Structure formats: C-alpha cells, structure tokens
Structure 1
Amino acid sequence: MMKKTEIDKLTDEQMLDQLREYYKEYEKLPRILDIKRGKNIAYRFGTWNKALSLALGEDKVTSRDVSDEQILSAIRELNDKLGRLPRLRESKYGSTARRRFGSWNNALERALGDDNVHVHHDYDRKKIVEGYKRLSKELGYAASSNDIVKDKRMPSLIYIRKEFGSIIDLANEAGISKEVVERWRDYKLQNWTPEELISGYKRLEKQLGRIPVSKDITDCKWLPKPHVFVRVFGSLTQMRDDYNLAKPNSGQSPISKKTLVRQVAEFYKEHGRFPLKREFASYSNNSIDVLLARFKTSSVYTVWEEIINDPYFKEIIEKR
C-alpha cells in the first residue's frame, strides 16, 4: 500500500485554508506554483480553478458570466465610494474590464463618461504646475501624493512622475522648496520628541502586558506609526538598546518548539485556521523567522504540515 504524504493527510478544508491565507496576505489569486504542492491540491479537487472557486468563491475566480453593464456598474459604484477614479487593481473586474474594453481607461470612459475621466494629453506642464499650486493653496500645505490622487482635477501620479520626475520636482517648479515639502511629509514626526515616543512605547507595553512589536504600534491609535520610530531611533531594536528597554525573549533561553506549537495551536483553535506571517508575529511576540528557524525550514507551509501532525497540537485543539 502506498504511503500517504503529509499533504494527503490534510483535510479538504485545510487545503482550502492555504489558498485563503495566500489570498488574504497577498490580495491576489494564487497560482498553482505559489502554493507548496499546489498540484496535489488541484488533483484533490479536480482542477486548480475548482479549488480556487471552493476556497474563495466563484465571483473572485471567474468573471466570464459578467455582463458589460455589470462591469461598468461596478466601476461607477467604486468611483462613488472612493470619491476619485478607481485604479484597475482596486476593481474586482479590473482585468476583465481591460480585456473586454481594450484598456482600463476605455472602461472608465464607458462607465463615467469622457468628461469625468482624465485624458492626460490635455495636460501640459504649465497646467499641472498651476493645478498643484491651486491644490496646495486649498489644503494649506504642500500637496502630497495622496492629495493628488484624491483630487479629480489632477492627472495621475504616473503621468506627473513621467513629466516631472517626482512630486518634489513638481513642487519646486511650483515655487515650493524641497524643505517645505519634506517638512509637511514629516509633520507627525515634528510633534513627537524621542522622550514622548519612549513614554508612549512604555505605556503600550504596560497596556499589552508584553513587549510591543511593530504591528502593535501600527494598531495603536494614540501612537505614531512605526516609521516615525525608525526615523528617530534607526529601528525598534536600536531604540531598545539605547534606552535599555526589554527585548523580545531577552534574558530567556531560546523558545522551545513545544511553545511555538502551543502558540500556533491556540491561534488555530481561536480562528479556525493557521496564522498569517504578520498575525503570528503579533500573536506570539516572536517573528516568523523564529518559527522557521526552530523547524529548520524556509517554508511556512512545511511548518504547518509538521505542526498539524504533532500530538501536542491535536491535544490542544481537542481540549475544551
């Protein structure tokens, strides 16, 4: 009798979870080669597309039955929701629209009308500079890339960068110095001194009851984003070194494989699936690299396969 491989021991739902995790992490459909032993999954469900359909839903996998009007209607709804012209990758029918209408711009024109879609050749350098001046004056500061994207009167960033090189070059031509642009880019940074950042970090550590990682700082509503810490201190590790703050696993022996299995099992029990890389780092306070190193592999899916067959994992999952 042929011996079962590790992938054969996985249930259908566990296989489909791998596809869902990939889609959630990368926000695109996985190809068969993107998933470890994808061919086995395709064989289990008959075809790769069928596996994708079962995991993610028919609408995310194929758009063959979608009419032109449905595509155009979806573009209009997305335009209203965003308050600006949607990009191809933001629409669930983006690729289909491009194939169906010849280009994404053609689809936008069909959906929204020529008057509402920027035709870039109507913009000369002078008009763009005047538009940037006007926008900056309305905002009260040097307009950023995000401000330009949100303003329907301005051409796309791709066109601007092709014409000027960068937003800073455009600002310079509009009479706004590089220093002013950078000052507005870092306006959040100016409001935080190193001492205030350290104080906020310690407060978050006390609130969490553990050492905060980058994800915790990102999720914290009253702290600036991690890049501010990086700009001030160089890195979170450097900050901890300079201010004698506790480090993840400092003063402890290397984390055991059993502990990692327990952490994964607890997450699995709570969410019904394995964690994404960023979720594991936030949940266990250990980076995914620690997990991979402990299991001596470079593939997280190999780790999941080993863990799912671990008796300790099964014991935690089955425990009420």
Structure 2
Amino acid sequence: MASTDGAGPDQFDPYALRADCLIELDRLTEAEDVLEQAIAHNRRIRGEHLCWNLVAGARLHLLDGRWDDAVAECSAGAAAPDVLGYSTVAPTLAALIGIHRGTFLPDVDSIPLPGDRVGTTGYAHLHSWAEALTHEARGHPDLALKLLVETHERLADRSAAATLYYIFPDIARLAADVGDPDAARSVAASADELVAREPTASRSGTALLCRGLAERDSDRLLAGAQAFRRSGRPLYEAQAYENAAVLLAANGSDADARRSLDTAIAIYGRLGASWDIARTAARVRPYEIRRGVRGRRNRPKSGWAALTDTERRVAVLVAEGRSNSGIAAQMFLSHRTVQSHVSKILAKLDMRSRREIAAGMRRM
C-alpha cells in the first residue's frame, strides 16, 4: 500500500517524472526547480525516491555543463535511499564525466552493470557509453563504434529509448572517423525520426549533427551547434563545432575551420573537458590547423607553475601510474611525444623519476 506522503516504493515520484520530462523538453531551469523541491521533500521525510531525484539532477548537470554539481549529486545518490535501482546509475554518470575531463579512465568492470530494475533499465545505455569512450581513449575507435551501434540497436525500443539519443553524436563522429557510412546513415535516420516525434532544440541539434556528418555538410553542423546552444547543452554544442572544424579543414576552408576549432576548444575548456580538447586537436592535426596561442605569458622556467596545460595533464596521469603508452592513447598523442613531455616535466620540476612526480602531486 502506498504511503500518504507520495513517496512509497510501489509508485513513482511525480516530482522526478515531471523533472525528467522538463529536461527532455530543454526546460532545464524549470527541471532544476522541480528537483530542488523533490530533493528537499525526500530528505525531510527520508523518502525512498531521493536517489532518483539526485540521479536526475546529475543527468541535468551532465547536460548543462555543471559537472562539479553532477559529480556531487552522483556521490550523494550512491548513498541515498533507493527502491528502484538508481544508485547503480550514479557511478556510471560520474565515470562519463571523468572520461571527458581526462581525469579518470575506468576499469569498465568496476562500473555496476545495468540490471533489470526500473532505475537501471531507463539508463541502460550509459554503461555501454562509458565503455565505448574508454575503448576510444585507449586507441580503439572501431571497438567503440561497434559497441555504440549494438547498444543503439538493442535499446531502441526499450525503456532507455527516451534518452538513447545522447549517444548519437558519438556514433556519428566515430562512424565518420572510422569510415563506416552505413552506421552514419543509420544514426542520422534515427535522429531524423526523433525530431519528427518531438522537435525540441536538443533533438534538432542531434539530427543536424548526425546528418551533417553523414553528408559531410559543415553548414548543418554549425546549425546544430546553434540548436544545442538554445537547448543549454554545451558539450554537444562543442561537439558540433569540433566536427565542423574537421570538415572545414578537410575542404580547405582554413579560416572557418580555425574559428570552429577555437570555439569548440573554448567551450570544452570551460567544461574542463581535457580529453575532448586532446581529441579535437588530434582530429585537425593532419590538416595543419592550429589553435591560437593561449598559454600564460611570462611563464616561470621551473616548478609546477612552469608546466604547460598538456604537461600538467601528463603529470596527473604519470602520478596515477599510467604508462607512456596508456597516456598516449588517452591523450591522442604519439608515444614519442609523451616521452618528450615526461622529460620536460622532470626537468622543470628538477626530479629524476616518475615516483617523484607522483609524490609531488600528492603534496600539492
């Protein structure tokens, strides 16, 4: 029998249902207001749907770019009352953010697999998404694409279908890079069908991005970026600009490519998405398109402040115990380039070993 406060385990939380709908309608501010009410209510009564509320908040902040808030919601959600199985979704969302930030390359086996409870079935694609991006970060884009295509086919008619389109831009990008026109056309067709059913800005942006990559149309990609901006989804906006930069560079439109590149990297920079920045730079590198100089002037010659942004990232991965090969795969760099960065880091820090780098990071 349901409890009188509306938080019983045998019924859904109307707050969270409303928030989920508002998120998918791109009404993110309203969704956040509803979730704040839901979280306060469930905390006050120790309600059993608190985890659902927190995970919905984490998903919202994954989309709107407030990733520190998203990670905090994931941490709280993992320990919150949970009757529907949402607690296993929280670490997957956190892992996705860690991958984009370049601070966490998970052992996929350590991320809870989606089960058959309502909370996990609705987010069943997230585990495959994290696993696919991990494959890509380790230098296997073909495996990443295969996994995402299989996930799309498997979940298209299930409870995860409402948010399955979150993975479409990565399918389209990987299909373009790997050279799989069938996958590109298939995901573009699915995105078009999505817009026909519900023409929101985020779905329109997804369709424009997928169709733009399938047809190598940079104008569609730039229009997609504007749609994502209207929807309040900066990660996807940056992805649209990134893809536009690659196509424009391939077509010899260097000035336009550089503008799109700079815009994409500026957005990724605000998000702290260092892995995406590294991928973007790697994708345009064959066309000799370079970013403008953005490093600090009068940088010290020694000490931690002397490290460039790339060197700092390499130092973090060294401190985590990563090999040069692992760092190279994650940062889209050659093994020789990583070796050079490690040598420069040691010289600037007046250190002799990787262990000293790790010890120095722990003292910071």
TM-score tier, shorter chain, comes to under 0.3
Between 1 and 2, higher relative CO (CA 8 Å, sep ≥ 6) is seen in: 2
TM-score (norm 2): 0.25
More helix by share: 2
Bigger radius of gyration among the two: 1
